[in-house]
Structure 1
Amino acid sequence: MLTNIKDFQSYLDTYQESIDNPEKFWGAVAEAFTWNKKWDSVLEWDFTKPEVKWFQGGKLNITVNCLDRHLPERANQTAIIWEPNDPNEAVVKLTYQELFDKVCQFANVLKNNGITKGDRVCIYMPMVPELCIALLACARIGAVHSVVFAGFSSSSLADRINDASCKLVLTSDGGFRGGKTLALKAIVDEALLDCPSVEKSIVLKRTGEAVTMQPNRDLWWHDEVAKADTHCEAEIMDAEDMLFILYTSGSTGKPKGMVHTCGGYMIYTTYTFKNAFQYKEGEIYWCTADIGWITGHSYIVYGPLAAGATSMMFEGVPSYPDMGRFWQVVEKHAVNIFYTAPTAIRALEKADISYVEKYDLSSLRVLGTVGEPINEEAWHWYDDHIGKGKCPIIDTWWQTETGGFMISPIAGITPTKPTYATLPMPGIQPAVMNENGQELAGNGVEGRLCIKFPWPSMARTIYGNHERFRNTYFSAFENKYFTGDGCKKDEDGYYRITGRVDDVIIVSGHNLGTAEIENVIDEHKEVCETAVVGFPHDVKGHAVYAYVTCYHTPDNEEDLRQEIITLVAKTIGPIAKPEKIQFVSGLPKTRSGKIMRRILRKIAEKDTSNLGDTSTLLDPGVVETIIEGAL
């Protein structure tokens, strides 16, 4: 049942089966895993509370499914390939046996330092193999890991540590990112001035930078590992026990600690990994995400390893030492499946094509995108220049809250359309809702995207605040999970995500998705990337403000503005024409590549008194430049 989709008809049959009898369907999928005790019931749920339990009474450990069960057949197969930031540094390859030994050894380190089942462990580390080892070691002993992306400020880190009452912090002296060295230990030191729950910090040597080690609190990773043996029995967990907490942005500014549990998450991430990518035995799979985000949790660590895949970790950035790094790595490791973000694709598209053409990309079989809707121009560039027209592109839509892919093509099986996430994965029951709470039946509709039936990997709550969980996701539409996204469902039943509903601009009563307008503007040959927001308008209520980056400085900005306005009016309609177009050198982005539209919205509204913390942006200076040029 783990790889049951072989052609489009089998997708349709599988999907129908999963909707007609979801408990039977997911029960059959779950049989492919190793359990200490079989479940009493497949599913218990009530969206009004909301409360969802999958495989209740089932006992297991996710690391047994990621490691132990593979050892008889694939002990010597590479589990993790680590490609360092500096291309001249040695690659690390860990077999399943080596990874198993290291995970057990570090699990003993955790136990030796007082960590037991249910304790929360904060992990603030660069993309090194020890990060993957740390996640699995926590899961081995039933500790709850909370990974914080190693680009957040000390105050953001402290907020997350305190919210989860973490007992231990795992970090490193520093990290490398492109040409920069990050002082991670110093950031942790500052955060821990205000984190009373933390008893100890274990520090990995990565950069060799001098750091301050606080007696009785800070321990060196290598010293602790030297004391630990490589035998550690896996803690037997209930399917509904917490596996991890992962923080995601909240509309109120306070991050939300999404709680994911052991059984359903394991089953769904593994199933979607194997089927969406159509992973084949022995292939090299590379997801370029950071493990600090859900993509890294689900599709670098847990899904691929539970599937027995070879998964690549990358410490660097696509532009270092030059804009050909991704393609150099693809050639070097003969990568078969490549999964990255539209932001990265657009940045690489902007570079000279010679950075692509000098490398052999013939090993690639499947391409994927994640994180935001991909615009049509970038999709075609990716298809033409990276896939050479031979690699299916799976445009995956999902969220931190969903745990795994929700709407996505099945590689080489689902006929694709540029900018469309296409069709739901088995078990996923989308509903397109209007603002009055009515489901819009059939195809050719547009509205708000909800899910009307539970799926195994969905978040169970917000840590310590179930009421906020209910209000955020289950109060807008009765008995449905509200994704917060808008969507179009075309005449073929294909879904296109049109952007966050809070990124919908209502102009003269018309709902305009920002992603749709951005997609059109990005089609202009001079335009590299666009971010669209709404701003107050005396007549229309709101109007469209577009921030546009170009490949080259425009010869005549006014002429280009008129060309863009004409293009939008022609493609979407006159109502969608931007009222203001500001040409900018860059957009405010997080280090993971997410455009901070909240900041752009405030600039457009001429409310720059409180832009919030901009220190976590990739380039904080870009904000001042945009403010200076605001229209």
Structure 2
Amino acid sequence: MSNRHDLVLPNLPPMVKESRLDSVHLARRNPLEFKDFNEYLSVYARSISDVGEYWLGVANELDWTTNWPPKVNLEGDFQHGFRFFPGSEMNVSYNCIDRHALKDPEKRAIVWIGEDGSERVWTYADLLTETTKFAKALSSLGVTKGDVVAIYLPNLLETFAAVHACFRLGAIYNIIFAGFSARALADRVADTGAKVVVTADEAIRKGKLLALKSTLDSVLGELESVEKVVVVRRTGNEAVSMREGRDLYWDDLVSQFEPGFDPVPVEANDPGFIIYTSGTTAKPKGLVHSGVGFLVGTYHNVKMSLDLGPDDVYWCTADTGWLTFPIFELVGGLANGATMVAYEGALDFPEPDRFYKIIEQYAINKVFTAPTLLRMLARYGESWIQGKDLSKLQLVALVGEPLDAKTWHWVQSKIGRGSMEINNTYGQSETGSAWASSVVGVTPAKPGSCGVALPGHSYAVVDDDGKAVSRGTVGYLVMDKPFPAMCRTIWKDHGRYLAQYFSRFGGDHYDTADAALVDQDGHIWVVGRVDGVINVSGHRLSTMEMESALLSLPQVGEAAVVGVEDNTKGQVPVGFVTLAQGVSSVSEHELAEQLVKEIGPIARPKRIHILSAMPRTRSGKIVRRLLREIVVEGDSSGDVTGLEDPEVLDKIKSELQERD
């Protein structure tokens, strides 16, 4: 084994011991091979004994154009490169749009809601029309199979059409988060060599206008690959600069073309899109996913984790710039034929009940969101729920961070009336799916856990020597067999891909860099990043467990814990909390004693800082790295372009200085 780190892993968190299985609340509608947990275990065992055969069965539910069924289901491995269904071809756009438009053209595909109250609806026929017209438009601009198109858009109807037009052409797209700075935008466009950039004149967020086209203009001079810019009229601001010959308005461009563009067959392992992970001081990684492999994986993921179908009105609250949205709405959601809700804006603006109002108004029955949103709603309190009819809501699924038990029970009691399915899942940008999850309607959930491994995903929890650990023991979480949605390389840097993910435990194990355990009920618990575990005087402490202990206090709305160096103990924890709605104060002593009470004296923190807000990404993750930088260095030096509100860092620094 090369590049061994021997990182210290945390002990079994008490919250794992205390968690109990919840009942299965939602009756499954989409048929599966299994009806209960024992049958799931049997199917799962068969699926990982021959992953190629299992994924062939999944892929056979989709429409292929050439060389189907394949001669080989799976060839290669992690170390040497893997290929599912080599030589077989299909088109992602056809499977997400045409299949449904041919069956029920007037069915609503996407209901778009703007923060300013705007509403637009596209049926599957509308989506097909707009997608094929834009595919023709891109083709007229010289985009062909294998070219890169950068999509710098917020959640708009046109975002769906732009992505699927690229799929239809066989082009490679890169969705770039609309909140990124000019520098972050330029770095990504330059790295991909995008020929066309699709953006909007402006976007709206928390009542403010975000000048997307202007941001792009500020760096276009250094982006030699960009030949054309297509601009969606989101606000219609006539003052937006448009350079003749280069810049084209979306509506003017597509109006030149009639609907209809035959989908280009794409080989099952060809690159479909690039998505960048956020960087700290290192260059962000451009993860390359197979378009077809991603479709197969996300179709399966959504089917298992949401039981999504044509009768559902479904809302994924993520921003399109984060992979959660393509997995659970843009590709995986559409592939399952439901009606999608897409929202552009902040979920607590202009009031904290915006989330509830949207669910009520559109009779949404399934939601995919982030644990941080639920903690935010709990922090605001149940008064904002009063008077809202949430009776249609059957399922809330989550990804991004562990969901603490306190918030889990609050959501179940206050929003779900005690009978809602809550599915806390786990995945990474690299895995292209939330592969750990409940199988909705089959496997019971457990507050705090990530559920079980979905069929077709083989994993292990191992020690420093790569040997499997026993149940209840924390180790390194690895994937030991390929699956279709897994990223295939890092754009222009395959050596970095191998070094980053396949060095600690060898070329046959993908290293998630997360610490995890499997409990006695077979549930997977991800307890933190292995390089973020705190080692206090030789005792291994999980930041997740400490945060959960703080969150169990009714006065605490959000919590984050980081480790800082200490001359005596090696490391000590430093905590950060925001207060629950209506709470004016809580003492640092009380917070510290809560950690001692729940975990032990070894968890006594060096400090616990009470903040008015946390640094969060738009996808809802608290950026703990920035909190640590501010405490240790007095400032933040890493990448901050993905923050929901970059100005919050100055507020945090000011609040910490006032208390010192």
Q: Report the TM-score, using the length of structure 2 for normalisation.
A: 0.91
For 1:54, the equivalent position in structure 2 comes to: 84
Q: In the aligned structure 2, how far is the partner of 1:327 from the partner of 1:597?
A: 28
Task: State the Cα deviation string for residues 211-230 of structure 1 (Å, max 9, x = none).
Answer: 11112211111110111111
Asked if 1:338 is matched to 2:367, the reply is yes
Aligned length: 624
Distance 1:466 1:2, change over 3 A: farther
Structure 1 segment 44-123 matched on structure 2, within 5 A: 44-49=75-80, 51-87=81-117, 89=118, 91-123=119-151
For 1:43, the equivalent position in structure 2 comes to: 74
Structure 1 stretch 65-74 or stretch 291-300: which is displaced more?
Answer: 65-74
SS at match of 1:246: strand
Q: Is the 8 A contact 1:486 1:513 kept in 2?
A: no
Structure 1 segment 132-531 matched on structure 2, within 5 A: 132-209=160-237, 210-250=239-279, 252-440=281-469, 442-478=470-506, 479-531=508-560
Task: State the Cα deviation string for residues 60-101 of structure 1 (Å, max 9, x = none).
Answer: 1111111222233222211111122123x2x22211111111
Unaligned stretches of 5+ residues in structure 1: none
Q: In the aligned structure 1, how far is the partner of 2:341 from the partner of 2:291?
A: 23
SS at match of 2:467: coil
Q: Is the 8 A contact 1:18 1:426 kept in 2?
A: yes
For 1:626, the equivalent position in structure 2 comes to: 652
The residue type paired with residue 110 of structure 1 is L
SS at match of 2:434: coil
The residue type paired with residue 476 of structure 1 is R
SS at match of 1:9: helix
Q: Is the 8 A contact 2:84 2:293 kept in 1?
A: yes
Q: Is the 8 A contact 1:499 1:513 kept in 2?
A: yes
Shift of 1:510: 2.3
SS at match of 2:593: helix
Distance 1:414 1:181, change over 3 A: same
Q: In the aligned structure 1, how far is the partner of 2:304 from the partner of 2:638?
A: 41
Distance 1:72 1:204, change over 3 A: closer
Q: Is the 8 A contact 1:443 1:492 kept in 2?
A: no
Q: Is the 8 A contact 2:281 2:638 kept in 1?
A: no
Q: Is the 8 A contact 2:305 2:437 kept in 1?
A: yes
Task: State the Cα deviation string for residues 395-428 of structure 1 (Å, max 9, x = none).
Answer: 0100111111211112232122111012111011
For 1:127, the equivalent position in structure 2 comes to: 155
The residue type paired with residue 421 of structure 2 is P
Q: In the aligned structure 2, how far is the partner of 1:399 from the partner of 1:310?
A: 25
Shift of 1:610: 5.6
The residue type paired with residue 495 of structure 2 is E
Q: In the aligned structure 2, how far is the partner of 1:563 from the partner of 1:447?
A: 32
For 2:580, the equivalent position in structure 1 comes to: 551
Shift of 1:280: 4.0
Q: Is the 8 A contact 1:173 1:205 kept in 2?
A: yes
Shift of 1:372: 1.0
Task: State the Cα deviation string for residues 572-601 of structure 1 (Å, max 9, x = none).
Answer: 222222121111111122233222222211
Unaligned stretches of 5+ residues in structure 2: 1-29
Q: In the aligned structure 1, how far is the partner of 2:440 from the partner of 2:170?
A: 35
State the Cα RMSD in Å. 1.8
Structure 1 stretch 613-622 or stretch 444-453: which is displaced more?
Answer: 613-622
Q: In the aligned structure 2, how far is the partner of 1:76 from the partner of 1:552?
A: 44
| Structure 2 counterpart of 1:583, from 593, 610, 625 | 610
Give structure 1 regions of 4+ aligned residues with deviation exceeding 4 angstroms. 552-557
Q: Is the 8 A contact 2:310 2:336 kept in 1?
A: no
SS at match of 2:452: coil
Shift of 1:4: 3.3
Task: State the Cα deviation string for residues 238-277 of structure 1 (Å, max 9, x = none).
Answer: 0011111011124543111111112221111111101211
Shift of 1:157: 0.2
Q: In the aligned structure 2, how far is the partner of 1:40 from the partner of 1:112?
A: 36
Percent pairwise identity: 39
For 1:561, the equivalent position in structure 2 comes to: 588
Q: Is the 8 A contact 1:162 1:197 kept in 2?
A: yes
SS at match of 2:564: strand
The residue type paired with residue 174 of structure 1 is E
